[in-house]
Amino acid sequence: MKLIILDRDGVINQDSDHFIKSPEEWKPLPGSLEAIARLTQAGYRIVVATNQSGVARGLFDMTTLNAIHEKMHKACAQAGGRIDAVFFCPHAAEANCECRKPKSGMIQEIAERYGMDLAGVPSVGDSLRDLEASARLGAQPILVLTGKGQKTQAKGGLPEGTLVFPDLAAFVVTLEL
C-alpha cells in the first residue's frame, strides 16, 4: 500500500495564527487539491494528521471541526481526489497528551490503523513538530514552504534527511506517479 501523511493547516489549506474556526475560513492553498487528486489517482492512501487545539481552547466545537473537514473532503472530491482519513488531536499543548505533535502518538495510531511500518512513508508538514512526530517513526519528513514552512526552514534543526519543497504540488510532481 502506498500511504502519504499530510498536515492540514499550511499544507492543504491556508493557515492562520488565529486558527481556522469555521468552514468559511477553510481555504485550500493553490495546487493542493490537484496534488491530492494526483496522489489519489496514483493509488495513494492520503491521511491527514493535524493538531486542533482550538477545540480545547473553546474556539470551535467538534461539530464545527467536522464541518470544516467535510468541506475539505468535498473540495478534494470535486478536484478528483480523496482523503482516506483525518486523525486529529483536540488537546491544548498544556495537556501534554501523547497524540499532539511533536509527540508521535497520532502518527503511531496511523501506522497501527493501516497495519504498516512507516519507514520511508512521505510525511508532509510546514512545522518542525509535524516533521519530528513522523521522523521518529521512520517516515520521510517533507517540509513545504507554505504556511509556517519558511519560518521553520529559517529556524533550522530539521530532522536528518528532510526534503524541502515550495508546496505540496511541487513535492507531488517529484513522485513517480
The catalytic position among 7, 15, 126, 130 is 7
Dist. CA 146–CA 63, nearest whole Å: 27
Q: Which helix (H) or strand (E) holds 129?
A: helix 128-135
**Rounded to whole angstroms, how far apart are CA atoms 92 and 62?**
14
From the number of C-beta atoms within 10 Å of its C-beta (0-12, 13-18, 19+), residue 170 rates as: middle
Q: Examine the residue annotation and report whether 9 is marked as an active-site residue of this protein.
A: yes
What are the catalytic residues? Answer: 7, 9
